[in-house]
Each structure stands twice: as structure tokens, then as C-alpha cells.
Amino acid sequence: MSEYVIDLQKIKLLLQKIGRYCLSLNYWPYCLMLTAVFTIKSGVRGVLPWGDFQPVSNFPRATQSFSSNSYGLIILSKLFKVNQKESFFLLNLTLLILSVLLLFIYLKSRFRTFHAKFLILAFLSSPIYVVLIGNIGRHDLLTIMGTLMFLLSQNTIFKLLAILIACLGSPEHTFAAFMLYLLGSFVLKKKGKFKSALFAVIFSGLYTIVSSIWAKHSADGQSRFNNILTQPEFVTIGLRNFINNFLLEWYSYFSYFWILIIIAILLHDKKIRLKIGILLAFTMCFNLIMVDKTRDFVVAIIPLAILLLQPIFKYIAGIIDQPNKAQKDLVMGIFLLTALISPAIEITFEGQPRAPHSWLITKLLESFS
């Protein structure tokens, strides 16, 4: 029994050392180290065939696809005169690096260093980052960064700009995400967030309608919703992929954040627990018919997930603010180690967990052949 206690003490001391080391680092070396670690862990992948590059050559005539209304990357490609799939990938990689850098700068300017470091760890170890670096060349970058910008910003003009950026990525995903956010803020009785969410729903809804009408009547495009309703084979593929990987698929939605999500739900009374549970269950059930699985769910759930996790993050921030340095080091060490040992999984269109470095190794081998 005494040996068991000693082992636990050693583990505690190890976690404190890990946390102490991270908290002792200056902000930018810390950001660089964690970005490198979690990028290596998750792996980088350009979307095959090189993202949604084909619509670039057809703009402004939208092609009939799931991405018919995603004009942001196409407009940027035209502005920078990108006309090759390789340069399109490099443009998207540059946008990703700049977006993450701007996020780090914003967090540093708005939060205390300790809090910013924790939020950076949460971002880089979350499925959000897994989706971003695993789908370079897809419109998710604009949708995710626009959504995060909306949630973090306090300025009305910046919030409007953020919704527009998100819609230029994927208006359908943006509308679905803010609709869930609206329902969640209503259930949790967050009046200020409800008004903000209502504004986002109205704007993204109108944008989706207008862009869908334009794509349908002025070009060959259809919205994602139309594709789902008119092409039942995608529903079949989605169900097949779920049956093959249902436990991995559920895990990929939140990874280790599942623990925090469950704790956040249990903090409320029974009625609110039930309503939030139904909201999450509905979203997960709807995702059964989606073919892109992890990325579809993650992009749509970001606002609601952050709304649920905000009290947990505030509680952790309160611990970090305490003068007890050993406790602060322990909390940081626990989260970092949990993030490192938790698998980074994305279930793709093919219905399989994405191999982290398969794409990069393939491209390197192709360059030598």
C-alpha cells in the first residue's frame, strides 16, 4: 500500500514538473513548441485532389458540388492569381499559419499570460486543430476562424466581419453552428449570448438563402442541403461509415474534451441536463447521414461546445489565479499530459480514421519518383 502511495506521489511530482516547465516558458517559445508538438502528433494533410481547386477555374460560375456556396477561397485565389493546384495548397497553408498566428496574438492581448497559455493548449489539442491541419485546401479554415473570431470579439463590427468570413467558408455550416448556439444559449438562459446568436443566425441564414438562389439560378451549383436531400447514396455512405467506426467517430467529435463536456452538463439541474443532452444527441444523430463525419460535426458544434465549456474554463482559470504555485503547476501538467496521450482522430469521407502522416509521406515519395 505504501509503495502505491509513493508511486502516486511521484506521478504528481512529474506532472508538476511538466506544468512548471510550460508555465516558465516565454509566451512565443511556448506557442511554437506546442504548435510543433501537436502538428507532428496530428499530421498535415492537403485535401485530395488538392482541395476544392476545380471551382477556381470556373469562378464566378459555381460548380454543382457540396461546396457550391463556398466562395472565400475561390475569391482569394483569383485575387492572388493562383491557377495551379500546388500554389492553391501553398496559399491555403499560408492562410492557416497566418490565422493561427493572429489567434495567438489576440489571446495574448486579451487574456493574462497563464490564461492565454491554457487556451492555446485547449485549441491545439482539440479536434478543431485536427480538422484544420488535416484538411488544408478546404473552406473549413474560413468557417472555423470566422466562428472563433465571432465568439472572442467584443466589437459589433468585428462580429459582423467574423460572420461574413465564416459564411465565405461555408454558409450552411455557419448557419447550423449558430442555430445550435442560439438553442444552447436559450436553454442555458444566457440572454446576452442569445441576442448575439440570434444576430448571427439571421445574418448567416439570409446569406445562405441569397447565395443558394444565386448558385441555383445563375450557375450549376446546389447547396449542401440540396445535395443531401437529392442524393440518397450519400446518406447510405454516411450510415455505413458510422456503423464501421461508431465508437471512434463519437470519440473524434470531442476527444478528451468529452470529460469536460460531461462535467459541464452535470453542473446544471436535471431539466437543463436533459435539454442539452437532447441538443447534443440530435446533432450526433443528424451527423449519421453526413459523409465527412468528424469535420462536419466539429465545424458545426464549435459555438455550442465553447458555450458549454466556458464555466469549466473559468473554474480552471480561477485555480490558475490562486497563489498556490504547486497547484497551478499540477493543473497545467495534467492537462498537457492528457492532451498528449489522447489520440488525435479524424474520421474522413472514406469512413476510416485518417493516418496522420500518410499524405505527407506519399507526397515526398512522389517527388522522388
Look at residue 6 in the predicted model and tell me its pLDDT: 56
DSSP state of 138: B
Rounded to two decimals, the pTM is: 0.90
Look at residue 64 in the predicted model and tell me its pLDDT: 56
Q: Peptide bond preceding 356: is omega within 30 degrees of 0, i.e. cis?
A: no
Look at residue 58 in the predicted model and tell me its pLDDT: 47
Helices (H), 72-190: 72-79, 85-110, 113-124, 127-134, 140-152, 156-169, 171-187
Backbone φ and ψ for 352, nearest 5 degrees, come out as: -130, 150
Residues in contact with 104: Cβ distance below 8 Å, sequence separation at least 6, in sequence order: 31, 120
CA distance 123 to 154: 20
Question: Mean pLDDT for each 10-residue chunk of the chain (369 residues)?
Answer: 62 89 92 96 76 50 61 84 81 95 95 90 96 91 96 92 94 94 95 94 93 71 61 79 89 95 91 93 88 90 95 80 79 92 89 86 83
Give the number of other Cβ atoms within 10 Å of residue 207's Cβ.
Answer: 19
Helices then strands, counting H and E runs in the chain, come out as 18, 0
235 near 289, Cβ under 8 Å?
yes
Look at residue 240 in the predicted model and tell me its pLDDT: 87
Report residue 230 as a C-alpha cell: 437529392
CA distance 69 to 174: 12
Look at residue 50 in the predicted model and tell me its pLDDT: 41
Q: What is the dihedral of CA 345, 130, 73, 221, to 10 degrees?
A: 30
Amino acid at 90: L
Residues in contact with 296: Cβ distance below 8 Å, sequence separation at least 6, in sequence order: 173, 287, 290
Look at residue 73 in the predicted model and tell me its pLDDT: 84
Count Cβ neighbours within 10 Å for each residue of 324-361 and write b for 16 or more, e otherwise: eeeebbbbbbebbebbeebebbbbbbebebbebeebee
Look at residue 49 in the predicted model and tell me its pLDDT: 46
